[in-house]
A and B are shown apart, each in its own frame.
Chain A
Amino acid sequence: MSGRAELDVAAIRKDFPILEREIRGKPLVYLDSAASAQKPRAVLEAIQNFYANAYANIHRGVYQLSAEATALYESGRDRVQGFIGAADRREIVFVRNATEAINLVARTFGETQFKSGDEILITALEHHANIVPWQMLGGRRGTKLKVVPVDDRGELDLQAYEALLGERTKLVALTHVSNAIGTILPLKKMIALAKAKGIPVLVDGAQAAPHTRVDVQDLGCDFYAFSGHKLFGPSGIGVLYGRLPLLQAMPPFLGGGDMIETVSFEKTTYAEPPNRFEAGTPDIAGVVGLEAAIDYVEGVGIDAIEAWEQSLLAKADAALTEIDGLRIIGRARDKAAVLSFVLEGIHAHDVGTALDQAGVAVRVGHHCAQPLMTRFGVPATVRASFSLYNTPAEIDVLVAALRETRELFG
């Protein structure tokens, strides 16, 4: 993964107003895009323009403004459909974030399809968002959680996975990319193995959508969840993709306006997907912003983004490996631009505070993946994550700040 990608990072940085900020008198070095990505001007302007010129509620009014707002909202759905290669626009449900998307599936599909003793198979790499909803479901329905282990590199044990795909497995719920250590799962192969046994597969794509091409039909998954805010879109908008026959068979998630067909006090009939799952006034401006974000990503080119991030990862990995006492957690061969590490004898939070002094923003802690931290025997790590607007020079700032941190705590 060496060589220069065709990505003009200087031009890209000009698209992100926040990158002009200083933190404690130093230029901001934002290495926390895996937590949330910064927003390009195009997204900010799209939202501003929508509120200033085309805002009204959707799916209701007969007046022109409402029709315009509805058209914008629904064109966002078309845009997402194209972005992830869904077969039908009705397969795109707007939610708040990937967490809500997974909870939606647990509360509707899980609640009606699973019974006591059924197994849900997840991996040791999961974010709490793809663990806790299934545990909550288990509390209500008596389902069991099974976990595919990872090896010392942070790669999934595929033999164990195959062995765990059993008679009782009713759902496989997998992350596409580990948020904590960057491992990219061999998703297509894993999905094929599950589907060969007739087991539906949900993918938590929160970390994948901003960095790699997602094609849900090629992957063959049944559900795919992601968040807008990690994709340079606004916070508060996310997407659940679900195969249409599954969505059609699922009961509603929340009850209210916009998700109904007819209501009387005796009986209510529900709208078809996706409206069935979009009760109440949705985040209309969020969808407008998300569409602008997808336009932005596709304008730069997802392949160029991926190549650029991989070049940053290679440089950072090499540079950090040189630092005495620094141990990188997770050395998967197929890995996204996420570097999780510990500095011997220095707690991650102290490292985070020290880096902040140098203007470097990183995530420290368990990254909402406590079981994975336990697997590697660390209470917390420092995580630097790279995105399209990061530069090799910023990696130099990170490395220098880490060396100073080591000196201070010596």
Chain B
Amino acid sequence: MSRSLGLIDYGMGNLHSVRKAFSRLDKELLIVNSPEDLANCSGLILPGVGAFDPAMECLEKIGMVSSLKDWAEQGKPLLGICLGLQLLFEASDEGKSKGLGLLKGIVRRLPSNEEERIPHMGWAPLKQRKACPLLADNDASNWMYFVHSYAAIPEDTQDLAATAPFGKLGVTAVVWKGRIGACQFHPEKSSIAGQRMLKRWLSWLEEGAQPLQ
């Protein structure tokens, strides 16, 4: 496929490290600033660091909210990272804005009564809940770098692909539905384990991006 992978630039966070992580895998990303850029893309990455409401406002400002909804409706591949995962859901405790609503569920503040520090900051191993293109069975190298104070609670438990330990219940680490996937952690900051995960996503795209419920 000759078309590019797009990295959405909506002013929230450090695009550089995501771009660099893909360029280490010999994949250059196209920076997407407006819906017009999507014509050249076969897959999209929604990164993000910061707060929920400003992120939705910035996406709206560049006209990407309805474009992302169309994109998902057409069943095209999308990868959310960190705040990019949270924006896929319907709403968040962190703000008043509606999320993209591509996945059902709400983003909740991490519970403060679990004897855990908040922000949830540092490395944690993934616990796989279902097969998905981001995860490999029996990969011992599955420690990822997390930094967040809110976590998504998918309404359809089938959408949950992996969790990380946190308190009694754990937190959502990876979600997947159809051709939409996302991770709460930062693969671009997760050393070799993160790089392997991004590589699996690229391989899945190259092999025809078969949807997976």
A binds B: no
